[in-house]
């Protein structure tokens, strides 16, 4: 089956969206004989060698989005693929008027008037398929925009487990020495951005009440790291590590004793998100403490993680205490999470699920 993934997103970049698209392209291409990615050329990708066909149109005008849409569409019309896949609603809408199957991957509800209008019109198309990253989002589209369930597929995000299996062969202390982390201290780690709502402030009750724990924050912009370093300067058991590449982030995750996932309702996607970070955490085999909120509970529960209420400081403290006092039981939960990643949340499993849904 000929299959084109079209995106206006810059690839590569540090954004989660760019990383997710790159990972899905790798997964799709491993299962398809005719796969092609179409994204704009930029200074970072012009010389990249790819394992799949990657068309990078040069954008020369100020109307970048429109120029890319035209160039990508002309290529699609010329090549006539069986399926076009995108996270861009404008691309999905335009190409839905042709004879190809068009799949749109939704990560949130439409916000603008135009996006809402296009989503509504697409619900009448019989060559249009909607991929939702959570069950909550699927229910929203079916209720709000009257999508028929046979045209909607739920597919949570995933992970490449082999990246973690390789690191699992290395002793934790060896990783800690490499990362200059203490060998005999409990290390709790949070990886990723720091800009979403009040999420980073959830760290405080941990560093304030558990001096035996070293809290390690990996990632974030220079501006945000500076902001939170200043906020947490009175504590000596929290450190901030600037942005690292993906392989280095995995090392920090594996080298930790426990991983912390922070999410509050100030993050507008709390109800429908399917965070890449969660599946990375689960893939480590280390215990996870996470917010019991929104669509996170579609993935995590009290059998595969330790949950807390993000609005209740005492709940966070109890979750950490449970880990400290029940290390063996905590590891049992983390092993369950790892098993579930292997059976449900791999990129290869996700891409096959989506392909089976589109071609059924």
Segment 98-121, tens digit of pLDDT? 889 999 999 999 999 999 999 999
Q: Which two tokens stand for residue 289?
A: 């403490």
Question: Over pLDDT 90: what percentage of the chain?
Answer: 92
Phi, psi values for residue 57, rounded to 5°: -65, 140
In this prediction, residue 289 has a pLDDT band, given cuts at 50, 70 and 90, of very high
In this prediction, residue 69 has a pLDDT band, given cuts at 50, 70 and 90, of very high
* Mean pLDDT over the full length of the chain: 96
What are the E-state strand segments in the chain?
A: 2-6, 34-38, 53-55, 83-86, 101-106, 128-132, 152-154, 186-191, 213-218, 238-241, 258-261, 288-291, 306-308
Closest CA to 45 of 54, 35, 34: 54
pLDDT at 85 over 90: yes
Closest CA to 155 of 360, 349, 358: 349
Each residue of 238-277: pLDDT tens digit?
999 999 999 999 999 999 999 999 999 999 999 999 999 9
Angle at the Cα of 226 (from 222 to 231), degrees rounded to 5?
Answer: 150
Contacts of residues 59-62 at CB distance under 8 Å and 24 or more positions apart, as own/partner, are none
Query: What pLDDT is attached to residue 28?
Result: 97
pLDDT at 47 over 90: no
Closest CA to 197 of 263, 242, 243: 263
Q: What is the mean pLDDT of residues 270-285?
A: 97
pLDDT at 226 over 90: yes
Output the pTM of the full model: 0.95
pLDDT at 46 over 90: no
Pairing of strands 186-191, 152-154: unpaired
Query: What pLDDT is attached to residue 61?
Result: 83
Query: What pLDDT is attached to residue 359?
Result: 84
pLDDT at 142 over 80: yes
Instruction: Count CB-CB contacts under 10 A for residue 319.
Output: 21
In this prediction, residue 49 has a pLDDT band, given cuts at 50, 70 and 90, of confident
Phi, psi values for residue 25, rounded to 5°: -65, -40
Contacts of residues 176-185 at CB distance under 8 Å and 24 or more positions apart, as own/partner, are 176/255, 178/251, 179/251, 179/252, 179/255, 181/214, 181/216, 181/255, 182/214, 185/212, 185/213, 185/214
Q: Which fold has domain 161-344?
A: Rossmann fold (3.40.50)
> How far is the CA of 343 from the CAs of 71, 89, 203, 270, 277, in angstroms?
39, 31, 31, 25, 18
Question: What superfamily does domain 2-158+346-359 belong to in CATH?
Answer: Glycogen Phosphorylase B; (3.40.50.2000)
**3-state secondary structure labels for all residues of 10-21:** CCCCCCHHHHHH
**Could you tell me where in the chain the CATH 3.40.50.2000 domains are found?**
2-158+346-359, 161-344
Distance of CA 287 to the CA centre of its chain: 19
Q: With residue 135 as reference, give the H or E element that holds it.
A: helix 135-144
Distance of CA 109 to the CA centre of its chain: 17
pLDDT at 83 over 90: yes
Each residue of 181-223: pLDDT tens digit?
999 999 999 999 987 777 899 999 999 999 999 999 999 999 9
């Amino acid at each position: 089956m000929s299959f084109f993934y079209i995106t206006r997103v810059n690839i590569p970049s540090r954004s989660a969206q760019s990383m997710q698209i790159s990972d899905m392209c790798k997964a799709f291409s491993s299962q398809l004989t005719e796969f092609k990615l179409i994204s704009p050329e930029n200074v970072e990708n012009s010389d990249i060698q790819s394992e799949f066909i990657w068309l990078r149109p040069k954008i020369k005008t100020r109307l970048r989005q429109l120029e890319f849409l035209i160039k990508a569409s002309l290529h699609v019309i010329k090549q006539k693929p069986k399926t076009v896949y995108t996270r861009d609603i404008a691309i999905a809408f335009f190409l839905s008027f042709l004879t190809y199957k068009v799949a749109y991957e939704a990560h949130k509800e439409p916000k603008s008037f135009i996006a809402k209008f296009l989503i509504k019109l697409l619900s009448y198309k019989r060559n249009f398929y909607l991929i939702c990253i959570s069950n909550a989002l699927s229910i929203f589209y079916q209720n709000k925009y009257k999508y028929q369930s046979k045209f909607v597929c739920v597919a949570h995000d995933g992970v490449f487990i082999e990246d973690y299996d390789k690191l699992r062969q290395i002793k934790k202390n060896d990783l800690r020495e490499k990362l200059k982390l203490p060998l005999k201290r409990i290390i709790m780690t949070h990886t990723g951005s720091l800009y979403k709502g009040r999420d980073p402030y959830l760290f405080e009750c941990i560093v304030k009440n558990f001096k035996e724990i070293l809290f390690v924050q990996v990632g974030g912009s220079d501006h945000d790291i500076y902001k939170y370093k200043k906020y947490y300067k009175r504590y000596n058991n929290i450190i901030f590590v600037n942005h690292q590449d993906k392989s280095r982030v995995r090392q920090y995750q594996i080298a930790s004793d426990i991983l912390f996932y922070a999410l509050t309702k100030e993050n507008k996607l709390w109800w429908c998100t399917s965070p890449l970070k969660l599946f990375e955490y689960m893939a480590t085999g280390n215990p996870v403490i996470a917010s019991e909120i929104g669509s996170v509970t579609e993935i995590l529960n009290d059998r595969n993680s330790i949950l807390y209420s993000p609005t209740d400081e005492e709940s966070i403290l109890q979750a950490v205490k449970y880990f400290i006092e029940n290390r063996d039981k905590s590891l049992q939960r983390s092993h369950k999470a790892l098993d579930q990643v292997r059976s449900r949340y791999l990129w290869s499993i996700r891409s096959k699920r989506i392909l089976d849904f589109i071609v059924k």
